[in-house]
Amino acid sequence: MLGLADDDKLRGLLAEVGRGDAAALARFYDLTSPKLFGVILRIQRDRGLAEDVLQDAYLRVWQAAGSYDPAAGRPLPWLCAIARNRAIDSLRRRGATEVQRPAEDDSEDWVARLMDPHDDATAFMDRDALSTCLNRLEPMHRDCVVLAYCEGYSREELAQRFDRPVNTIKTWLHRALAALKSCLETVS
């Protein structure tokens, strides 16, 4: 996975992409596409559609690289935000009912994996704070947040999975997000 050491390289490439350098975009793609495709594929399970989303995300990078502000954050989260938005748009446009999800989805797993310091240590502080705060949430509320963020669950899909009315899910999400925010402010 890409660590902080690669950030400077990615920033440099983004600057070149911003000047219209297609070869720089190709290098940027080679470095980041496996991570990005992983993120997209968790949300958009249809491989063909996920590949469309991937291409679309890099086209957006091509257009927006000039406006990427290194002060606004690390390049990889910036890129992931673009990809997640595209992936979720592709789901929501198709409506909530068609998504096929494998049975082994387990949000518990994500929180556990969050704790695993497998790559760069610099992001670990953030990750540590987030997993601490996620673990303080009501388990079902936390699962809603993680399933929505990592797997693209809609409110309706969460309602179905937890067998609750959609309005209850909305309330859970709002409570969980508000609690998460105030916890992150004190922990980090």
Partner 1 sequence: MSGGGGEPAPDPDLRAAEYVLGTLDASERAEMDRAIAVDPGTASRVRAWERRLAPLLDAIPPASPAPRVRAALLRSLPGAVPAEPDQLAALRRQVRRWRIVSAGAGLLAAGLALFVGVGLRPGQEGGRYLAVVQGGGTLPALIVRVDTRTGTAQVRPVGAETPEGRALELWYVGAGGPKSIGLVEAASSRVALPAGASPDGAIAVSVEPPGGSPTGQPTGPVIYSGKLIPE
By CB under 8 A, what part of segment 26-45 binds partner 1?
26, 29-30, 33-35, 37-39, 41-43
Residue 159 as a binder of partner 1 (CB under 8 A): the answer is no
Q: Which of 6, 7, 46, 51 binds partner 1 (CB under 8 A)?
A: 51
Q: How far is the CB of 172 from partner 1 (least distance, A)?
A: 11
Q: How far is the CB of 175 from partner 1 (least distance, A)?
A: 10
User: What Å distances lie between residue 126 and 43, 67, 129, 133, CA to CA?
Assistant: 23, 25, 5, 11
3-state secondary structure the chain: CCCCHHHHHHHHHHHHHHCCCHHHHHHHHHHHHHHHHHHHHHHCCCHHHHHHHHHHHHHHHHHHHHHCCHHHCCHHHHHHHHHHHHHHHHHHHHCHHHCCCCCCCCHHHHHHHHCCCCCCCCCHHHHHHHHHHHHHCCHHHHHHHHHHHHHCCCHHHHHHHHCCCHHHHHHHHHHHHHHHHHHHHHHC
Identify which of residues 13 and 110 has a Cβ nearer to partner 1 in the complex: 110
Q: How far is the CB of 73 from partner 1 (least distance, A)?
A: 6
Contacts (CB under 8 A) with partner 1, residues 86-125 = 88-89, 92-93, 110, 113-114, 116, 118-119, 123
Contacts (CB under 8 A) with partner 1, residues 127-156 = 127, 130-131, 145-146, 148-150, 152-155
Q: Which of 15, 31, 140, 173 binds partner 1 (CB under 8 A)?
A: 173
Q: How far is the CB of 23 from partner 1 (least distance, A)?
A: 9
Number of residues that bind partner 1 (CB under 8 A): 72
